Amino acid sequence: MKKLVGALGALFVALALLVGPAGAADVPSASSRVSVSGTPAIGSAVTVVPGTWASTPDTRAYEWLRDGEGDVLSRDMTYTPSDADAGHTLVVVERVWFGSRQDETSSAPVATLGTPVAAPPVAAPPVAAPPATVAPDAGPPTVNTRKPTVKGAAKVGKTLKVRSKGTWTPKPSAYTYQWLRNGKAIKKATSSSYKLTTKDRKKKITLRVTAQRPGSADVAATSSKTKTVR
């Protein structure tokens, strides 16, 4: 009897090695990730461009996110930025299913521009005078591709510091900081470090970094939340 049990055990091990773990079938890979069509501006809709997969997914679903995190703004194929999106980036996530198997891709962050405002008519200057209203060409908007991070213990009396300002393209010329308590700006907390106080106890802290670049609108990105301050 012991010999029979041992033989059956060896057989099951051999089959497991040949078949592999249950449900480990490969998910078809994406040859191009989801992207966004159109230039995000307040009141101007942008559209999902689905990713391309090695085989056609059975189901697709989409989620629009502000700065790549937080609540889902929309699950439709199109999204119209609102005033709340100004100065932030938009990311769309595509989730796909192949039977019970799931995978996803996300788009590169795209900066949201403000609503264009028509300039008032300007009287033509005299022929001999040089134009007085010529402005330098605006550069491309700065885009955050990796959000900022912070370091330090989430404990009253300890100091949080900027670990990374994030990754931006094109590279900004300057940065400003604002520390947030449960998403609300902390008064006078605008340096690269912040010492936790008793007001922070049982709260979560984040850091908003705003990138500045001549000829381009300021763009902000926010770090992940710290642990609850104790």
9 pLDDT exceeds 50? Answer: no
**Three-class secondary structure assignment of the chain:** CHHHHHHHHHHHHHHHHHHCCCCCCCCCCEEECCEEECCCECCECEEEECCEECCCCCEEEEEEEECCEEEEEECCCEECCCHHHCCCEEEEEEEEEECCEEEEEECCCEECECCCCCCCCCCCCCCCCCCCCCCCCCCCCCEEEECCEEECCCCCCCEEEEEECCEEECCCCEEEEEEEECCEECCCCCCCEEECCHHHCCCCEEEEEEEEECCEEEEEEECCCCCCCC
The average pLDDT across 189-217 equals 92
Q: 151 and 161 in contact (C-beta within 8 Å)?
A: yes
> Highest mean pLDDT range out of 19-28, 137-146, 149-158?
149-158
For 13-17, 57-61, 152-156, 168-172, which range has the lowest pLDDT when averaged over its residues?
A: 13-17
Domain ranges of the chain: 31-111, 143-222
Q: What is the pLDDT of residues 70-116, one digit of tens each?
A: 889 999 999 999 888 888 999 999 999 999 899 999 999 988 877 65
40 pLDDT exceeds 80? Answer: yes
Whether 143-222 and 31-111 are alike in CATH topology: the answer is: yes
What CATH number is given for 31-111 in this structure? Answer: 2.60.40.2700
Name residues whose C-beta falls within 8 Å of residue 189's C-beta, 6 or more positions apart in sequence. 178, 179
pTM: 0.42
23 pLDDT exceeds 50? Answer: no
Structure tokens at 69: 């995190």
Structure tokens at 148: 């900022």
* pLDDT (0 to 100) of residue 140: 73
Q: 62 and 36 in contact (C-beta within 8 Å)?
A: no
End-to-end Cα separation, the chain, in angstroms: 61
What CATH number is given for 143-222 in this structure? Answer: 2.60.40.2700
For 23-27, 71-75, 171-175, which range has the lowest pLDDT when averaged over its residues?
A: 23-27
